[in-house]
Structure formats: structure tokens, C-alpha cells
């Protein structure tokens, strides 16, 4: 266990606690927020909130627990690898695969697979359950993810995500026909006050922006390209439902009916572009629509 004390200077005054600690200790904001939730960060010996604005001369105490033994088992699961070097791994995740272990899914995840593939060459920034995981996509969303093989790569990739400079383009099939050929959905997303396991467009939620473009209009559905400016939980699914065009197969944010018989939402992370954390070279990857998409379009 490591205990760190930081005194707030005049230059730091007014900054959010989680942002300040993230920059000061080179930790991701999500990691800092987890430390706060676990009461490992205090201000003047009192519990603090992530959103608290810090003041000059306050003393922030940060306890970083010892790394836990990772009891997640490495599994020899075949990966669709699009690119790999000493710093990053770019994979095409199939639909139905969970990204990292959680209650009810401790095996068969992307983390189980990359642990077997990368051995000990994974970043530790997001904790023992999510080694190397910089960003996620839902279990039933297929497509491209970048994995960090060391902490330096993780910090730099996470910074691109935070600054919205990472290019992320999705393709979805939504119900009905959109009125406009292209548009922007700018609506804040937070926890659904009535159903805490769901997200929703809520007043006071976190800023969320999705750009969409119609690719093809079908009889009772539309193929759309979606570009994420922000990356909130279930953002595309929530935003498309919010404008009256939920994703086909999405029984959580849709009508609950699934007349096409597909399991989970018709959503594919098609394009991912980022600046390499070491070479500073821009890299962009694309993956074709999966077979299930093709079958659904044929229907």
C-alpha cells in the first residue's frame, strides 16, 4: 500500500478533484473515481466527491492499495488481431463476447483471451480485472478495440479518448426511417432515475454528442453511420432510442419486441483511428460488417 499526500497550490484551485489527481499521479480518471468510491482519497482527512472543486492549501491524501493477485484465468481463445506491436494490440471483438470479467462472466471474456496472448505485457492502470482495457464496447456490439500493453501506452490512449481525438465510427441498423439524411444528437446521458441499471437522457447528465449519417434506407429500417464525439455508457443505443429510432434487436432501449430474431442490438464498431502512443503516427483500422449483419440486411 502506498500513501501519497498532495498540497493544493493556488494554481490548482478550482479544479475538479478527480481531474487534478489524474494529472498529478498519471492515473486514468476512472481509476481515480474508483479510488474515491472506495474511500481511498480524502481531503483534510474527510471523505471527498470526485466533482469537488479543490482549494488552496488543502491536503489531499491518496491511498493506492497493493495490486491484488489477478485470479482471472488466461484462456486460449482465438483473437481476430488487426495489428500488434510492443505497445498496442488492435482486435476485432465478436458479438457475444464480454470485454472484461464481471459478475456472471468470469470466463470467455476478451480479457481472458488477451491475458493468454500477451502474458504479462498488459497495462495495469485500470486495475486487476481490466488489464490493458482502454475502452469498452457492449457484449452484443461487435468491432474494433485497442488494448494497451504498458502503462505509458494506456495513459496516452486514454488522453486521446478524453480529448475526443480518437476516431470511432459505428454502423447500426435502426427501426424506421430517419427524417434527415444526417444530423447531430446532443443530449446529456446519466443513470435512469427509475431503472438504475439503464442509462437515459437526463437533465444534469454527462455531456454526450453523437453524429449520424444515413447510409441506406430500407422498407422499415435504416442503416446509419454513427460517429462518437463522446463515449458515454450505451451512448448510441440511448441516443437513437431518444430520437425515436432504437437499434434493431435492442430490447433494453427499444420497444421490447424483436421481430427480426437477432440476439442483441445491430451495432458494429467499424472504424477506429488513433495516434500511436510511442511513434506518434496516426493509425486507422476498419473491419467489415459481420456475417450476422449481412443476414439481417437480407431479411
Out of 3.40.50.720, 2.60.120.10, 3.40.50.620, 3.30.2350.10, the CATH code matching 169-268 is 3.30.2350.10
Q: Where are the alpha helices (DSSP H) in the chain?
A: 17-25, 29-37, 110-118, 151-162, 235-242, 291-298
**Chosen CATH of 81-163 out of 3.40.190.10, 3.30.2350.10, 2.30.110.10, 3.20.20.140:** 3.30.2350.10
Q: Is 2-64 a domain of CATH 3.10.290.10?
A: yes
Cell of 225: 453511420
Q: How much is the average pLDDT of 162-191?
A: 94
The residue extents of the domains of the chain are 2-64, 81-163, 169-268
Structure pTM? 0.76
What pLDDT score does 27 carry? 80
C-alpha 92/C-alpha 277 separation (Å) is 20
41 closest CA partner among 57, 25, 56: 25
* Residue position matching grid coordinates 491475458: 115
Q: How do residues 123-161 score in pLDDT, each as one tens digit?
A: 887 776 778 889 989 999 999 999 999 999 999 999 999
How confident is the prediction for the chain on average, in pLDDT? 89
Same CATH fold, 169-268 and 2-64? no
Q: Which positions are catalytic? A: 138
Q: What is the pLDDT of residues 181-229, one digit of tens each?
A: 999 999 999 988 888 788 999 998 889 999 999 999 988 899 999 999 9
The single residue listed with the C-alpha cell 464480454 is 98
CA distances from 95 to 46, 139, 245, 298 (A): 44, 6, 21, 19
Q: Where are the beta strands (DSSP E) in 22-109?
A: 41-43, 46-47, 59-64, 81-84, 88-93
Phi, psi at 250, each rounded to 5°? -90, 95
- Checking if the pLDDT of 277 tops 80, the result is yes
**CA 18, 21, 25: angle at the middle one, nearest 5?**
145
Output b/e per residue, 197-222; b: 16+ Cβ within 10 A. Answer: eebbbeeebeebbbebebeeeeeebb
Amino acid at each position: 500500500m502506498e500513501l501519497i499526500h498532495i498540497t493544493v497550490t493556488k494554481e490548482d484551485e478550482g479544479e475538479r478533484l478527480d481531474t487534478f489527481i489524474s494529472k498529478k499521479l498519471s492515473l486514468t480518471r476512472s481509476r481515480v473515481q474508483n479510488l474515491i468510491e472506495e474511500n481511498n482519497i480524502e481531503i483534510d482527512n474527510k471523505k471527498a466527491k470526485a466533482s469537488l472543486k479543490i482549494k488552496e492549501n488543502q491536503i489531499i491524501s491518496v491511498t493506492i492499495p497493493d495490486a491484488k493477485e489477478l485470479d482471472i484465468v488466461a484462456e486460449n481463445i482465438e483473437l481476430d488481431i488487426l495489428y500488434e506491436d510492443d505497445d498496442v494490440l488492435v482486435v476485432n471483438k465478436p458479438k457475444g463476447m464480454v470485454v472484461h470479467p464481471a459478475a456472471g462472466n468470469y470466463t470467455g471474456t476478451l480479457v481472458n483471451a488477451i491475458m493468454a496472448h500477451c502474458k504479462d505485457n498488459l497495462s495495469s492502470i485500470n486495475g486487476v480485472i481490466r488489464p490493458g482495457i482502454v475502452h469498452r464496447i457492449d457484449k452484443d456490439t461487435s468491432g474494433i478495440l485497442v488494448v494497451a500493453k504498458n502503462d505509458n501506452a494506456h495513459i496516452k490512449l486514454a488522453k486521446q479518448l478524453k480529448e475526443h481525438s480518437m476516431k470511432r465510427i459505428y454502423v447500426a441498423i435502426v427501426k424506421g426511417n430517419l427524417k434527415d439524411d444526417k444530423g447531430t444528437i446532443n443530449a446529456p446521458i446519466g443513470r435512469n432515475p427509475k431503472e438504475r441499471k439503464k442509462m437515459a437522457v437526463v437533465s444534469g447528465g454527462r455531456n454526450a454528442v453523437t453524429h449520424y449519417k444515413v447510409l441506406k434506407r430500407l422498407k422499415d429500417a435504416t442503416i446509419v453511420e454513427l460517429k462518437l464525439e463522446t463515449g458515454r455508457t450505451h451512448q448510441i443505443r440511448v441516443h437513437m432510442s431518444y430520437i425515436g429510432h432504437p437499434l434493431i434487436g435492442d430490447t433494453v432501449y427499444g420497444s421490447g419486441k424483436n421481430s427480426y430474431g437477432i440476439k442483441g442490438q445491430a451495432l458494429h464498431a467499424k472504424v477506429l483511428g488513433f495516434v500511436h502512443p510511442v511513434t506518434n503516427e496516426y493509425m486507422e483500422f476498419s473491419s467489415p460488417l459481420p456475417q450476422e449483419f449481412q443476414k439481417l440486411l437480407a431479411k
